[in-house]
Structure 1
C-alpha cells in the first residue's frame, strides 16, 4: 500500500520543511514525494533537515501545478484545517486510512499538503475527493507542515502493518471498473462545463458555485473509467444533436 501513496507538497516556501517532511516519510516507509512549484529546491537546508532521507529528496518529482501532480491518481485527499463555504466530505486521518484500505482499486493515492501560511486554496481543495482534518487543539491549531506529514504517514504505517497481504492479490476487476484517474475526471469536468455553456445552462461570467458543486457531486461518487466514458459519450451526443439542429 505504501508504495502507492504520493505525498504532494504544494508551493512550499521553506526548504527545511521539505527535508523534514522527507524524514517523516522515510521513518514510516513512504517513498513517493512530489513537489509543486517549491520556492527553493534542491536545497542544502532541505538535505540537512532530511537527516539521511536523501533518497526521498533525490527521487522527488517537481512539477508546476497541482493538476500535473495528481493526474495519474485515482483518489485525491487534501489536508484542510479551515471550514469552507461549500462543505466537502471531511474525514480524520484514521478514517482516511480506512477509505484507502477499502479501495485498493483507487490507487495510486495523492495526499496534498498546502502552503505553510494558508494551506490549500479552495480551487485546489475542489480537485480532491476528500478533505482530511487533523483534530488539533482548536485554541492553537498551528501545526507545522512536516508534523502534519508525520501524523498522516504514521496512520498509513499502522494500516500497512495490519493489512492482509492477500487482500490486494485477490482483487481483480475489468478496466472499465477501475477508478478513474484525476486527469480523466478533470477531462469530464471540462467537457461538462463546455456543454453547459453551449446549452446556456452555465454562464462563465456569473458562475456562482455551479462549478464547485459539480465537482463536489462527482468527487463524492468516485467515478470509475466506464462511468466517465458513458458520461462523456452522452455529452458528445448532445453536442452532435445541437449541431444537426443548427446546421
Structure 2
C-alpha cells in the first residue's frame, strides 16, 4: 500500500540528510524518494548516512522543481513548523498518516509527503501547492526538527497505522531459545509447591515466623499471582530457594545437615 507514497525533499543542502531520510524511509517500508534540486547529490556522505538504504538512494528521482515532483499526485502534504499568514488545513502526523492510507487505497492514487530545506523549510509558494500542512507538535521554543528526524516521524506513523489496519502486530515479543517450554504457564500444583518451598525457606532464614504470620504469605501469593509465572521462571525461583538452603546448611528437602 505504501508503494504509491513518495517522500519529496526540496533543495536539501547536506547529502547526509538525504541519506538519513533514505534510511528512515526504508526502516518504515517507504521506497520512493524524489529530490528537488539537491545541492549535492549523489555524494558519499549520503550513502554513508543511509546505512544500507543505498537502494532507496540509487532509485531516487531528481527533478528541478516541486511542480515536477508532484505533477501526478492526488494528495500532497507539506511539512511546516511555522505559522503562515494564510490559513491552511493543518494536521498532525497521526492525522496525516490516516489520510494518506485512506488515499493510498484508491485506484491510481499517488501521494507526496514534502519536506523543505534544513534552514528555512518550504516557502509560502511551495506550501500553497500542498492540500494540507503537517505540523509535528514539538516544543514551541525549539520546533525545528532535523530533516531525517521529521521524515522518520511521518514514516513511523504511516507504518504503525498501516500495521493496525492490516491487523498485524505492532510489537515483537522476545522469544527465548527454548520458547515452547518457557512460555508454558506454571500449573496450580506447581505454584503450590513453590509457595510451600518459599515458606519453608523464609522460616529457615528467620524472615517468617509461622506463629506470627502477619499476612506475609497471602501477600506473596498475590504478588506472584500478578506475574503469571511460566515454567522457566518457576524453575529459576525454585533454584534460588534451593541454593539459599544450601548456603545456610539445609538440604532442599528441609532436613538439617548432620
Paired position in structure 2 for 1:158 = 160
Equivalent residues of 2:92, 2:137 under 8 A apart: yes
CA drift at 1:32: 0.3
Paired position in structure 1 for 2:44 = 44
Paired position in structure 1 for 2:100 = 100
Q: Does 1:124 align with 2:126?
A: yes
CA drift at 1:101: 2.5
Q: Does 1:66 align with 2:66?
A: yes
Bigger-Rg structure (1/2): 2
Give matches, 1:51-200, under 5 Å: 51-103=51-103, 104-105=105-106, 107-164=109-166
Higher RCO (CA-CA < 8 Å; seq separation 6+):
1
Q: TM-score, normalised by structure 1?
A: 0.65
Which consecutive unaligned segments of at least 5 residues does structure 2 have?
A: 168-258
Paired position in structure 2 for 1:169 = none
Q: Give distance in 2, aligned partners of 1:77 and 1:102.
A: 14
Q: Give distance in 2, aligned partners of 1:29 and 1:117.
A: 27
Q: Give distance in 2, aligned partners of 1:89 and 1:50.
A: 33
Q: Secondary structure at the match of 2:141?
A: coil
Task: Summarize deviations over 1:10-50 as a string: whole Å, max 9, x none.
Answer: 00000000000000000101000000000000000000010
CA drift at 1:140: 1.1
Q: Give distance in 2, aligned partners of 1:34 and 1:96.
A: 19
Equivalent residues of 2:98, 2:158 under 8 A apart: no
Equivalent residues of 2:101, 2:158 under 8 A apart: no
Paired position in structure 1 for 2:171 = none
Q: TM-score, normalised by structure 2?
A: 0.62
Segments of 4+ in structure 1 off by > 2 A? 101-107
CA drift at 1:142: 2.5
Which consecutive unaligned segments of at least 5 residues does structure 1 have?
A: 166-247
Equivalent residues of 2:12, 2:38 under 8 A apart: yes
Q: Give distance in 2, aligned partners of 1:107 and 1:76.
A: 11
CA drift at 1:4: 1.1
Paired position in structure 2 for 1:179 = none
Paired position in structure 1 for 2:185 = none
